[in-house]
């Protein structure tokens, strides 16, 4: 699948690191570093603008290493970029650690996953098909 992209950063285009990678790293496009204090959040721009085909979305996800090692994650994970959005890709980062974290220009801050999706058409009903789980909520599918 080919996707149009405008790169207004000084960084290379996002790319897959291996043949089996699902995500591509997004890099911060900053004039100066941003320091996130504990529990602080910020929208970090990437300098990237994309044109997705209808039926696709781009999912912005945390980088596992950044989350595990530094406590930095994407606040609305996964963030969704819709096919009709043409603005700059921004990443909402939050610092869940107990220490300040400084984001430098070019730092890998998130992953971008391109995914196809379906559009649902609601069919109103009076009852739903019975299942073994029924109305069991969070944690109801595990062994007790």
Residue 110: inside a domain, yes or no?
Answer: yes
* Residue among 117, 120, 43, 47 nearest 83 (CA): 117
Residue 133: inside a domain, yes or no?
Answer: no
Domain that holds residue 72: 4-116
If you average pLDDT over residues 28-32, what whole number do you get? 98
How many structural domains does the chain have?
1
Residue 134: inside a domain, yes or no?
Answer: no
Residue 144: inside a domain, yes or no?
Answer: no
Residue 26: inside a domain, yes or no?
Answer: yes
Whether the pLDDT of residue 139 is over 70: the answer is no
DSSP codes, 77-128? SSEEE-TT--S--EEEEEE-SSS-EEEPTT-EEEEEEEEE---------S--
Cα angle: 70, vertex 8, 117; to 5 degrees: 70
Residue 48: inside a domain, yes or no?
Answer: yes
CA 96 – CA 108 distance, rounded (Å): 17
Residue 42: inside a domain, yes or no?
Answer: yes
Q: At 44, which CATH number?
A: 2.70.40.10
Tally of CB atoms within 10 A around 70: 15
Average pLDDT score, the chain: 95
- Do 56 and 117 touch, CB atoms closer than 8 A? yes
What percent of the chain is modeled with pLDDT above 70? 96
Residue 26 host element (H or E): strand 24-27
Position 143 confidence tier, pLDDT thresholds 50, 70, 90: low
Position 133 confidence tier, pLDDT thresholds 50, 70, 90: confident
The pLDDT value recorded for residue 142 is 65
78: cis peptide before it, omega within 30°? yes
pLDDT tens string 56-110: 999 999 999 999 999 999 999 999 999 999 999 999 999 999 999 999 999 999 9
pLDDT tens string 6-24: 999 999 999 999 999 999 9
Residue 135: inside a domain, yes or no?
Answer: no
């Amino acid at each position: 699948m080919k996707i149009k992209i405008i790169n207004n950063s000084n960084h290379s285009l996002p790319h897959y690191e291996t043949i089996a990678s699902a995500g591509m790293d997004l890099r911060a496009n900053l004039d100066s570093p941003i320091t996130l204090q504990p529990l602080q959040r910020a929208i970090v721009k990437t300098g990237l603008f994309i044109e997705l085909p209808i039926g696709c979305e781009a999912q912005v996800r945390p980088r596992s290493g950044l989350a595990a090692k530094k406590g930095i994650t994407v606040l609305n994970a996964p963030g969704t970029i819709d096919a009709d959005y043409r603005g700059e890709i921004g990443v909402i980062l939050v610092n869940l650690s107990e220490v300040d974290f400084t984001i430098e220009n070019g730092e890998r801050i998130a992953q971008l996953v391109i995914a196809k999706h379906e559009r649902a058409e609601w069919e109103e009903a009076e009852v739903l098909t019975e299942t073994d789980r029924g109305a069991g909520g969070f944690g109801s599918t595990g062994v007790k």
